[in-house]
Structure formats: C-alpha cells, structure tokens
Structure 1
Amino acid sequence: MEERLTELSCEEFTERLAARESVPGGGGAAALVGALGIALCSMAGAFTAGKPRFAAVEDRVLRLMDEAEDVRFRLLELVHEDAEGFSPLSEAYALPKDDPTRADAIERATGDACMAPLAMVGECCRAVALLEEMGACCSRLLISDVACGALLVRAALETASVNVYVNTSALTDRTVANRIESTCSELIDEYAPRAERLASEMTRRISERRKG
C-alpha cells in the first residue's frame, strides 16, 4: 500500500474512515487514537522540561518524552501496517471457493492480520506506563492532559483488542488463536484498569486544586 494514511489531513482521514472503504477501519482508528494519547504525554513533558522548579526531575522528564515519541511514531506506523494487512486477507477471500489453496491462504492472511492490532495493544501498554510516570513528575498545570492521554490510550487499547479478537475468531488453528487471545487479554486486564485509575487520580488532583 503506497498511500500513507497518516499523511492525510484530519478531515481527509475521517472522511475516508466514514466512507464505504475497508481501510482505514477500526484498527487504524485505534492506532491513531493511541498516538494522540501518548502525544499528550510528550506535551506534558514539553511544558515541564526546562522549568527551574522541575530541575530535579529534568532528566526523568526528558527520558519519558523520548520514550513517548518512540511509542507515538510506532503507533502511526501501525496505522499503515494495519491497512497493509487487509489486502492479503481480501485477496485470499476472493480466491475461488474450489481453489485448493484458498483455506490455507485465508488462514495465513488472518494470522498475519492479528499482528498489527496486537502490536497496537503492546504499544498502548507502554503508553499507559509512560503516562503514569509523567503524571507523577510533570507540572500540575498539565495533569489534565495526562488524564486525557490516559483515557485516549485506554480507548485505543480496548479498540485494538477487538481487532485482535475478530481475527483470532476466524482462525481454524485454535492453539494459535488461544495463545494470541491469552496474550492480548492479559495485557488488557492489567493496563486498561491502570489507565482508568490514572485518569481518576489526575481528575481527583484537579478537583482538589479547584476546591483549594
């Protein structure tokens, strides 16, 4: 796929998403939302770094920003990789039903299609951990952005998992399917609540500041 979906404007991307086209779809949307969430982690760092009152955590904040940018760029790449994974699957299903290679082609393409959303889940888990750490050391003026980032990443995490499960449900090799599903479910069970707790904690701190 030569076209880079992430090079579209916001308006163009959402128009494409709304159209009767297979890509971008839920997977691409999940990766983009995750990238937006972790971008807010970088933003919180950018407004904290360089401030004299945060000199003691300067190195920590800069490290978090570097790692957050790595996650952001990876998630943007996964928008493209998810779209690329659809073509082989579509081509496999388009083979004549009496073609002896059809079943194997579908199985192989379906297994491959699991990989991009599963990678999204992994990157979103990294994002949650980075947002947690940023929330503990950034300026209080930026904790609302950390909260927003956590909620966006949680949405991306759970959305990506749906795209894992829709593919594993079509696999005939249940041993492979169960292994992928187990990996995904374990990550969701750990990191989705962590993202929710982080957003709640940041919101509580905002509320206390308002009352104070």
Structure 2
Amino acid sequence: MPDKKFIEAVASAAPTPGGGGASAYAGALAAALGSMVGNLTLGKQKYAAIQGDLKGVLLQLKACRETLLRLVEDDAKAFSALARTWKMPKATTAQQQLRHAAGQKALVDACEIPLQIMRVCAKVIELDDFLAHNASRLALSDVGASAALAKGAMEAAALNVYVNTAMMDDAPTAEAFEREAKDLVKSFSYQADVLYDYVRHEISGR
C-alpha cells in the first residue's frame, strides 16, 4: 500500500519533509523497482550465468534503499537544525555573530545530505544498467522506470544543494559542493537517459 502518511506530510504546510526528503523517497522507490527486477530474475535457469553477480546487485540495491530511507529523516533533521539558527536571538552584535556562525555550520550538513542522496541515486542508475542488459526481459520496462525515477530524484536533490550553497560564506566549500552536484548530474543523468532510450527501443522496437 502507498505510504499515505508520508505523502500527506509532504503536502502539508510543514517545511519537512520537503524536496530533499521527497528526493530520497523517490530514490528509494527506484532502488526497490530495481530489486524487484533482480528478484524476478533470481533463480531462473535462463539466467544461471549471472546468478552470482545478481545476488551482489540485489545486496547493493537493498543497501541503497535502506540508506535513502534513512536520508529522508536525515534531510529533515539537517533542515530543522538550520531553521533553528534562524530563530536565534539577534538583538546584539554578539548574538548576530553567533547566529550567523551557527547558520553557516548548519549549511554544511544541509548540503551534504542531498549530496549523499545524489550519490546513492547515481549508484542505483549504475545497477540498473547491469539489470537492463542482463536481467529478465519481461521486466525491462521496470528497469527503465527505476532509472527514470533515480535520475529525477538525483536532479531534485541537486536543487537542495544549490539553494544552500547560495547562502554559504565559504566560497571554496560552496564551489566544491556545487561541483560534485554538477558532475553527478552530468554523468549519471546522461547514463540514465541512455538507459531509458535503450529500454524504450527494446520494448517498442523503435
């Protein structure tokens, strides 16, 4: 059954779960779809030659799924920590400096968590590539769906990196976060697109 409670929480006026948490959740769904394809293939005589590799892929997809679900909570915690700094007193110069320093520190986690989401989604895309070329052809469309979800989740998480780096004073750190985010999108969105086109061609014949 769909997790209605989570969906309703996203739809509410509460700031969390927001884009980061939704990205992680979508990534977890992508990993779950990949796992489904792997499990449908596991034990089939036709795919006996890849059973060892397939078991390894399934273990990795399980780890991705579990990590992404944890990151839903971690993203909410990171945002809450940042939001708390906005409520710190600022009546005096000393309070303003303390508030600003706390905010800058919190921004680091607020960038790191969506980057972690992106890294795991990139891994899901890599594993989907193996499944697309080796697993059951009966579930090939599901591999494509998994890759499309993982790509969307990764690109959505990237926006959470950029919105936080825009508030950072430490330009080198901000640039490092942005560079990794851009590199992940460039490399793995392309891989997901290639995989999607491959699946579309294979299932439609055109």
TM-score class, shorter-chain normalisation, is: over 0.9
Match status 1:149 vs 2:142:
no
Match status 1:132 vs 2:125:
no
Q: Per the alignment, in what secondary structure is the counterpart of residue 47 of structure 1? A: helix
Aligned-pair identity (%): 35
Partner amino acid, structure 2, of 1:175: P
Match status 1:53 vs 2:46:
yes
Q: State the distance in 2 between where 1:85 and 1:151 align.
A: 27
Instruction: Using the TM superposition, give the Cα deviation of residue 91 of structure 1 relative to its aligned residue in structure 2, in angstroms.
Output: 1.1
What are the superposed Cα offsets for residues 102-129 of structure 1, whole Å, 9 maximum, x if unpaired? 1101101111211110100110111110
Instruction: Using the TM superposition, give the Cα deviation of residue 197 of structure 1 relative to its aligned residue in structure 2, in angstroms.
Output: 1.1
Q: Say which of 172, 181, 184 aligns to 1:184.
A: 181
**Hey, what does 2:199 align to over in structure 1?**
202
Instruction: Using the TM superposition, give the Cα deviation of residue 34 of structure 1 relative to its aligned residue in structure 2, in angstroms.
Output: 0.4
Q: Say which of 4, 8, 25 aligns to 1:15.
A: 8
Match status 1:37 vs 2:30:
yes
**Hey, what does 1:27 align to over in structure 2?**
20
**Hey, what does 1:3 align to over in structure 2?**
none
Instruction: Using the TM superposition, give the Cα deviation of residue 141 of structure 1 relative to its aligned residue in structure 2, in angstroms.
Output: 0.3
**Hey, what does 2:118 align to over in structure 1?**
121
What are the superposed Cα offsets for residues 30-56 of structure 1, whole Å, 9 maximum, x if unpaired? 000001011111111100010111111
Q: State the distance in 1 between where 2:154 and 2:109 align.
A: 19
Q: State the distance in 1 between where 2:126 and 2:196 align.
A: 12
Instruction: Using the TM superposition, give the Cα deviation of residue 162 of structure 1 relative to its aligned residue in structure 2, in angstroms.
Output: 0.4
Q: State the distance in 2 between where 1:112 and 1:132 align.
A: 30
**Hey, what does 2:108 align to over in structure 1?**
111
- Identify unmatched segments of 5+ residues in structure 1: 1-8
- Identify unmatched segments of 5+ residues in structure 2: none
- TM-score, L = length of structure 2: 0.95
Q: State the distance in 2 between where 1:88 and 1:202 align.
A: 42
Q: Say which of 68, 71, 92 aligns to 2:64.
A: 71
Q: Per the alignment, in what secondary structure is the counterpart of residue 50 of structure 1? A: coil
| Paired positions, count | 201
Instruction: Using the TM superposition, give the Cα deviation of residue 175 of structure 1 relative to its aligned residue in structure 2, in angstroms.
Output: 1.1
Q: State the distance in 2 between where 1:61 and 1:46 align.
A: 9
Q: State the distance in 1 between where 2:58 and 2:147 align.
A: 15
**Hey, what does 2:73 align to over in structure 1?**
80
- TM-score, L = length of structure 1: 0.92
